[in-house]
Amino acid sequence: MKTATNTSNNIITRSYEEYYQVILSYITYRITHRYEAEDLTQDVFVRLLDYKQMLRPDTVKYFLFTIARNIVTDYIRRYYKKQEINSYLYDYSVTSTNETEEKVIANDLAQTELRILGAFPEQRRLVYTLNRYQGKTSTEIAGTLQLSRRTVENHLFLGRREMRECFKKCV
């Protein structure tokens, strides 16, 4: 069993080293947003981990491209659905505003964000706070906290994703 796990881990490690740039280029070509493509490429390899019991060195390349194609398809589907919803909301939204109600909702959202932020691990909370409330870039945060830029970006990615998921549940 231990050798099967080691073999799977070796296949995943080698495939990441060998195919990361190829998969990134494949996804970037299809969605043209570099940062989104990097996130989706990461998702491809994370999803590959779910299938590590089925991996074989001769089929992993094709498996990666199948996963990448499915992830890109899902992304594009969500993108256009979001555009459709935004268009609908824009067309049928009420043109008058109630400033008091908007302030109450904004305050509620801010309080909810702070509550969710309180549940984050300490380092992720600090990175998220520096970026969100002080407007610092990943590079600036990395210098301040003496972390690698990639670590800071990873914390931001995970923090934003967790925040989005919590807000989706709230709304």
C-alpha of 15 from chain center: 21
Give 4's pLDDT tier (boundaries 50, 70, 90): low
∠ CA 158-136-119, rounded to 5°: 35
The 8-class DSSP code of residue 148 comes to -
Residue 46, Ramachandran bin (φ over 0: left; ψ between -120 and 50: alpha; else beta): alpha
The verdict on pTM exceeding 0.75 is: no
Are 120 and 162 spatial neighbours (Cβ–Cβ below 8 Å)? yes
Distance (Å, rounded) from C-alpha 48 to C-alpha 61?
11
pLDDT (average), residues 38-45: 94
Task: Return the minimum-mean-pLDDT range out of 68-72, 94-98, 142-146.
Answer: 94-98
pLDDT (average), residues 129-140: 91
Among 23, 47, 50, smallest CA distance to 37 is for 23
